[in-house]
Amino acid sequence: MKTPVPGIHGPIALLLLLLSIAVVTVVIDRGRYWWSWWRSRASRRGQWERVLADQGGSAAGRLLEDWELEMRFGEPLLQAAVVLAPLLGLVGTVLGLMQVLASLGPQLLLPAGANLAGFGQVLLSTALGLILSLIASTGLFANQWLRRSQCLRLQRLGRTWAPPA
Does 108 map to a domain? no
- Taking only the tens of pLDDT, the chain with its 165 residues reads 555 555 566 788 899 999 999 999 999 999 999 999 999 988 888 888 888 888 877 787 888 888 899 999 999 999 999 999 999 999 998 888 888 777 777 777 776 766 766 677 888 899 999 999 999 999 999 999 999 999 898 888 777 655 555
Rounded CA-CA distance 91/57 in Å is 51
**Do the domain assignments include residue 15?**
yes
Structural domain contains residue 16: yes
User: CA-CA distance, 119 to 88, in Å (whole number)?
Assistant: 19
Q: Which domain holds residue 73?
A: 11-93+119-160
* Residue 65 belongs to a domain: yes
Q: How many domains does the chain have?
A: 1
Q: How many Å apart are CA 44 and CA 56, to the nearest integer?
A: 16
Task: Give the C-alpha separation, 124 to 93, whole Å.
Answer: 7
d(CA 112, CA 68): 62
| Assigned domain for 131 exists | yes
3-state secondary structure 78-146: HHHHHHHHHHHHHHHHHHHHHHHHHHHCCCCCCCCCCCHHHHHHHHHHHHHHHHHHHHHHHHHHHHHHH
Specify if 143 maps to a domain. yes
Residue 57 belongs to a domain: yes
The pTM of this model reads: 0.81
The answer to the question of residue 70 being in a domain is: yes
Is the backbone of residue 33 left (phi > 0), alpha (psi -120 to 50) or beta? alpha
- Kindly list the distances between the CA atom of residue 6 and the CA atoms of 2, 15, 156, in Å, as whole numbers in the listed order: 8, 14, 52
